[in-house]
Amino acid sequence: MADYKAPLRDMRFVLNEVFEVAKLWAELPALAEVVDAETASAVLEEAGKIIGGTIAPLNRSGDEEGCTWSAEGVKTPAGFPEAYRAYAEGGWVGVGGDPNYGGMGMPKAISAQVEEMVNAANLSFGLYPMLTAGACLSLNAHASEELKQKYLPNMYAGVWTGSMCLTEPHAGTDLGIIRTKAEPQADGSFKITGTKIFITGGEHDLAENIIHLVLAKLPDAPAGSKGISLFLVPKVLVNEDGSLGERNAVSCGSIEHKMGIKASATCVMNFDGATGWIVDAPNKGLAAMFTMMNYERLGVGIQGLASGERSYQSAVEYARERIQSRAPTGPVAKDKAADPIIVHPDVRRMLLTMKALNEGGRAFSTYVAMQLDTAKFSEAPEVRKRAEELVALLTPVAKAFLTDLGLEATVHGQQVFGGHGFIREWGQEQLVRDVRITQIYEGTNGIQALDLAGRKIVGSGGAFYKHFSDEIKAFAGSASAELAEFVEPLKAAVANLDDLTAWLLDSAKSNPNEIGAASVEYLQVFGYTAYAYMWALMARAALGKEGEDDFYASKLGTARFYFARLLPRIHSLTASVKAGSESLYLLDAEQF
């Protein structure tokens, strides 16, 4: 498999030329103090070095060895503890963390690029700092100052890691029926009892302590999701002076044997009267978790993008070198027995599809990250409110669409290799196996689609959607004539999405099944339209510069491919949505 190379040029293009993020940072005082374009470039450069040199080489060996469980704990594959220490010592665990507690303080638009790099290099490895960052986010937003002072510095430093314990054997999406209990103690702590499953990084040998965030219910909690509270439960209790004390009553009962991400420990965690402390107020646990969810769901989407990027890098290198048959128009490599397979139309179709989806995804994930930064740091209430509503709208799209396309891209990459793509030594089959989980965890993509259609579209009466639609129309209305080849199909796509959104809003009034029946295809239409906007923005940034170097010519060629060959997918998806829910209910349960 090709060595991973961080796509720094494309990241800088998206940040600096497409979105001009330095202008946004300058308008947000909290960010203006810590980052500018130069700093951002240096951060990404350094991240690329350690990730490409230290973490990427462990990807295949980590998959081959996997994690192992014993009564003493969980052991990660060879090289993982050393690589994690190197990553943590560089400050990368806390790259987006609050500087008041030792974090680097970078905006999400920067940490999103670092996330892409580490997950492209090694998805299993990337989950450990990702879960820690998510736990830190919830603590920083909702925990008491005492808890933040006690736990955040070591978590940002990577000395301690974090996990989030939500799912139980009987309760996945429906967290309102969890059974884990929290009993109040006289000293203000709580005794946590219950079992959690599918806990990423719940136990491992990378750090000296693991800080679990656990959803549980108090004895007098109201039924359902309104009765969920959040608790901080350390693996090892922390003394008043910050030193480590006794082992807490929390243990890993087993680890899962999985299709992919084998170097990531997915644990069954048992809490047997473990000591914990409440985060935020009683019965406010879901609100505290949802502070983290928008960031984490974008992060999972970025994992899909990252897997597609890694697959593309290997596929394009292979396609340039592998010789097989002659080009349809006659020999190209006349000095060889056959031509490189990159001359063949179908191979080009697959490579261009991967390239267009990856680069569109990078722009879209950065756009969503910028909305997160605006929502968090803007001092203008109306600006913050609009950004918050855009984040709510776009988060399920980012999670589901990026991961659906991540699987498509890795399958294309595997296909470019032919039979060699099915063989372990080339690495492409691992990417297909690894990326599959991204469509499932952090809320399945079906749940994301239902969230988009039900809560964000119908639930807001279309108000959230109007922000995005109006922005695209404003861009299209102000675009120069030179951009017409990109802007005209974009206008048609957003008009189609406007019409489809109106159809959904109207249909939901008379038949509640229409929301769920339409949701997946509706999200896909939304995603392809959003990518069309991203590609029009990138075309604007590249137009007129194609003579400067191949980068801009490549960007424009890929934009033309997207509009010609990928955006038209919206038409069949739209037809599926408008076919309605009736055909889904023609069979009785016994007839399946």
Return the pLDDT at 579.
Answer: 97
Cα 229 to the center of its chain, rounded Å: 25
Predicted confidence band at 286 (pLDDT cuts at 50, 70, 90)?
confident
Give whole-number Cα distances, 288 to 79, 142, 151, 354, 438, in Å.
34, 6, 17, 36, 23
122: which 2 tokens?
């090694």
Do residues 193 and 287 touch, judged by C-beta distance below 8 A? no
DSSP H stretches of helix in 143-183: 145-156
Task: Please report the pLDDT score of residue 291 as a whole number.
Answer: 81
Mean pLDDT of 500-509: 97
In a domain, 575, yes or no: yes
Q: For the segment 437-474, what is each residue's pLDDT rounded down to a tens digit?
A: 999 999 999 999 999 999 999 999 999 999 999 999 99
Please check the confidence at residue 46 and state whether its pLDDT lies above 90: yes
514 located within any domain: yes
| DSSP collapsed to 3 states, 190-206 | EEEEEEEEEEECCCCCC
* Mean pLDDT (whole number) for 292-298: 86
pLDDT of amino acid 245: 98
pLDDT, tens only, 156-183: 999 999 999 999 999 877 887 899 999 9
| Residue 323 DSSP symbol | B
In the beta sheet, which residues pair with residue 230? Answer: 215, 279
Q: Tell me, yes or no, whether 546 lies in a domain.
A: yes
For helices 513-542 and 484-510, the axis angle rounded to 10 degrees is 170
* pLDDT confidence of residue 322: 97
- Give tens-digit pLDDT for 187-198: 999 999 999 999
The residue type of 4 is Y
**Is residue 499, in this structure, part of any structural domain at all?**
yes
| Token couple for 410 | 């890795």
Q: How many domains does the chain have?
A: 1
Q: Percent of the chain beyond pLDDT 90?
A: 95
Distances (CA, A) of 90 to 49, 196, 283, 443: 11, 32, 37, 31
> How far is Cα 495 from Cα 213, in angstroms, rounded to an integer?
44
pLDDT score of 294: 77
Q: Phi, psi (5° rounding) for residue 251? A: -145, 160
Q: What is the pLDDT of residues 361-410, one digit of tens each?
A: 999 999 999 999 999 999 999 999 999 999 999 999 999 999 999 999 99
Domain residues for the domain of 531 are 461-581
pLDDT digits 0-9 by tens, 239-255:
999 999 999 999 999 99
What's the pLDDT score for residue 1? 74
Indicate whether 357 belongs to any domain: no
Are 67 and 124 spatial neighbours (Cβ–Cβ below 8 Å)? no
pLDDT over 90 at 493, yes or no: yes
Query: What is the predicted pLDDT for the residue at 176?
Result: 79
- Tell me the pLDDT tens digit for each residue of 564-576: 999 999 999 999 9
Per-residue pLDDT, 590: 97
How far is 539 from 557, CA to CA, in rounded Å? Answer: 9
Q: Taking 90 as the threshold, does the pLDDT of residue 228 lie above it?
A: yes
Structural domain includes residue 83: no
Work out the mean pLDDT of the chain and round it to a whole number: 97
Mean pLDDT of 486-510: 98
- In tens, the pLDDT along 515-529 reads 999 999 999 999 999
In a domain, 454, yes or no: no
Residue 482 lies in a domain: yes
| Residues catalogued as catalytic | 442
Q: Tell me the per-residue pLDDT of 539-563, one tens digit each, with 9 for 90 and over.
A: 999 999 998 899 999 999 999 999 9
513: CB partners within 8 A, 6+ apart:
581, 584, 585
pTM for this predicted structure: 0.97
- Label residue 411 by pLDDT band (50, 70, 90): very high
Cα–Cα distance for residue pair 530/332, rounded to 1 Å: 38
β-pairing, 190-200 vs 266-279, is antiparallel
CA 149 and chain centroid, separation: 28
Mean pLDDT score, 341-354: 98
pLDDT of 369 reads: 98
